[in-house]
Amino acid sequence: MPTPLNILVTGGAGYIGSHCVKRLVADGHTVTVLDNLGRGHRAAVDAAAEAGGGKATLEVADLRDTDAVEAVLRKHAVQAVIHFAALAYVGESVHDPLRYYDNNTAGSVSLLTAMDRAGVRRIVFSSTCATYGEPTQDQMPITERLTQQPINPYGWSKLMTERALIDYGNAHSDFAFAALRYFNVAGSDPGAHIGEDHEPETHIIPVVLNCALGKVEKISIFGDDYDTPDGTCIRDYIHVEDLVDAHVTVLGALGDGDQRFYNLGTGNGTTVMQIVEAGRKVTGHPIPAEVGPRRAGDPPALFADPSKIKDELGWFAKRTDITEMVADAWRWFEANPDGYGD
Ligand code: UDP
């Protein structure tokens, strides 16, 4: 059992954050969630804590309110922060970039300022493979050494946060951070206590499952003329519980002065068509699909070389079967067709 800590989870009312809350509570940590509930769900925090066999405290505040965040850090004697809170739609970021820089980048700088004032010296940050931009096929799988050159404001908003963390870390040798670059996060708590409930929902697996629920008439495959085996885009889907496990491992390893960067993926590529097929298999629904135009900003293939975190910390993704990931997600969708109902 790890040493119990007072941990602040920003965005803990969201999809990934709530899975982290469940895990941290189960591990015996004292968990405070900071969320503005803009896209999170109040009910997710209690459901997550209950699934973890304990309680978590929700503090409703916006990251950009530095004074409020500082007060939360002091009130709960926070020792480490796991920072999920962010807007995370590539397409939306292209149309409304300032919102992304404000929420994601300025919000993170505000959080760091509050941590600085309150003397909190550890943070694990949700970064993204979108910081790598559009690597060429001969650069697959993606290592952490690949030049980061985002192709959309979402990716830039996260990369700028990585930069702020590096520069702050360079100025403070007792500070430590990790930036975890997620590939595509999928699946949910197999007990279906918590899951994915986004509005709007644009991610492929939830869209497929919403189709099985009859909430979406048919799905659109965004392009089948890519240079991939079946012409549809390739992504690296990692189970949310594996992803959370990596955060716990990394947090436990952080020591003064650390600046760690890890890709979080399985190393396997799955096409959009394979996701649709997994959805059909798991739900028994025909999932009508039509091929539509390519989506702006979509790289053809993205998958991780996840060996750095394995070599350094012994961590690797254990749930690699895409059908099982879709099946876990389906359990939540089937039991909660209206999500959290808020
Ligand atoms: N996609 C699709 N139809 C949809 C949603 C997504 O064909 O309704 C494709 C999308 O073009 C991408 C892949 O599915 O190639 C994964 O997209 P998602 O939005 O789930 O995640 P992203 O990779 O953009 O973070």
Mean per-residue pLDDT of the chain:
96
| Rounded distance from Cα 28 to ligand 1 centre (Å) | 36
The catalytically annotated residue of 100, 154, 182, 237 is: 154
Nearest residue (by CA) to ligand 1, atom 12, is 233
What digits encode the pLDDT tens for the residues 237-268?
Answer: 999 999 999 999 999 999 999 999 999 999 99
Tell me if 202 CB under 6 Å of ligand 1.
yes
Which residues have a Cβ under 8 Å from the Cβ of 150 and sit 6 or more positions away?
130, 131, 132, 133, 156, 158, 159
Ligand 1: residue whose CA is nearest its atom 3: 221
Please check the confidence at residue 83 and state whether its pLDDT lies above 80.
Answer: yes
Decide: 35 and 45 in contact? Cβ < 8 Å. yes
pLDDT, tens only, 123-180: 999 999 999 998 988 999 999 999 999 999 999 999 999 999 999 999 999 999 999 9
Integer angstrom CA distances of residue 162 from 8, 109, 306 = 19, 10, 19
Whether 219 and 292 have beta carbons less than 8 Å apart is answered as no
- What was the pLDDT predicted at 1? 61
Atom 25 of ligand 1, residue of closest alpha carbon: 184
CA 203 to ligand 1 center in whole angstroms: 6
Residue 297 has pLDDT above 80, yes or no: no
> Which of ligand 1's atoms lies nearest the C-alpha of 128?
25
Q: Which CATH superfamily is domain 6-187+237-265 in?
A: NAD(P)-binding Rossmann-like Domain (3.40.50.720)
**Amino acid at position 280, single letter:** R
For residue range 197-233, list pLDDT tens digits in order.
988 888 999 999 999 999 999 999 999 999 999 999 9
User: pTM to 2 decimals?
Assistant: 0.97
State mean pLDDT over 20-27: 98
